[in-house]
Chains A and B, each alone.
Chain A
Amino acid sequence: DARVTQTPRDKVTEMGQEVTMRCQPILGHNTVFWYRQTMMQGLELLAYFRNRAPLDDSGMPKDRFSAEMPDATLATLKIQPSEPRDSAVYFCASGLVTGDYQETQYFGPGTRLLVL
């Protein structure tokens, strides 16, 4: 049963520190999404990639957030410097484009981030 994996599962850090979250999409999937979940805002799309190319990062604060796909098996989301308001659960999801359609997205277990 293939699954999206994320590391770390939990991260506690101090304000101003750099945070890097990693995601391994399901093997063969060519689209990767980053979402953020908070009580107030719910689930929000931050950025997504297709075939490792960034397609949309309009949901992401550009001054401190960056997302990359160094290779097809790894996506990263970086926050530098981190702030308390970044505290949330960050989910990665992957999917597959076949023909003209994006197939179902499968979510990873999430990284629970707490910035003190």
Chain B
Amino acid sequence: GENVEQHPSTLSVQEGDSAVIKCTYSDSASNYFPWYKQELGKRPQLIIDIRSNVGEKKDQRIAVTLNKTAKHFSLHITETQPEDSAVYFCAASNLEYSGGGADGLTFGKGTHLIIQP
């Protein structure tokens, strides 16, 4: 099965600086890589995702890059703000559905992002 490793487990950055979280995956069949943000006591919420036919995707201050050869993908947050403080999870899945081939998500262990004022 799929295995997703996520680093670092805790990341502290100054407000306004950039934050980078990295994940690696093991299953070359995985083709969908979402990132979820989870605030304390709340549900995971999708913030950005990327499919394997794309190398990079950006949404305002958030970007995700994917290196299929190396099997790793990263989340980049620029100009960090206090409201970015949360736990971030990467995940991987095989989305191709041909009569039942799609999987559930395999998650990394999470990164606790702390934005220092």
B65 beta carbon closer than 8 Å to chain A: no
Question: Using a Cβ cutoff of 8 Å, how many contacts connect chains A and B?
Answer: 58
Contact A100 B96 (CB under 8 A): yes
How many angstroms between the C-alpha atoms of A33 and B38 in the bound complex? 18
Contact B105 A101 (CB under 8 A): no
Contact A55 B100 (CB under 8 A): yes
Least CB distance, A75 to chain B, in whole angstroms? 13
Within 8 Å by CB of B89, from A33, A43, A48, A56, lies A43
Contact A107 B104 (CB under 8 A): no
The secondary-structure label for the interface of chain A is: strand
Contact A33/B104 with A42-B109, A91-B43, A110-B43 known, Cβ cut-off 8 Å: yes
Least CB distance, B54 to chain A, in whole angstroms? 14
A105 beta carbon closer than 8 Å to chain B: yes
In the complex, which residues of chain A have a beta carbon less than 8 angstroms from the beta carbon of B100? Answer: 50, 55
Kindly list the 8 A-B residue pairs having the minimum CB-CB distance in the complex, ordered from nearest: A45-B104, A43-B107, A107-B43, A102-B102, A102-B95, A42-B109, A48-B104, A107-B44
Contact B96 A105 (CB under 8 A): no
Number of A interface residues, CB 8 Å? 24
Per-position 1/0 for A95-116, Cβ under 8 A of B: 0010011101111111000000
Number of B interface residues, CB 8 Å? 26
Contact A106/B46 with A48-B104, A100-B96, A101-B95 known, Cβ cut-off 8 Å: yes
Of all chain B residues, which has the CB nearest A4?
B43
Contact B44 A91 (CB under 8 A): yes
A–B Cβ pairs within 8 angstroms, 26 of them: A33-B105, A35-B104, A42-B89, A42-B108, A42-B109, A42-B110, A43-B89, A43-B105, A43-B110, A44-B107, A45-B104, A48-B104, A55-B100, A59-B104, A91-B43, A91-B44, A100-B97, A100-B98, A101-B102, A102-B93, A104-B34, A104-B49, A105-B105, A106-B46, A107-B45, A108-B43
Of all chain A residues, which has the CB nearest B31?
A101
Least CB distance, B50 to chain A, in whole angstroms? 12
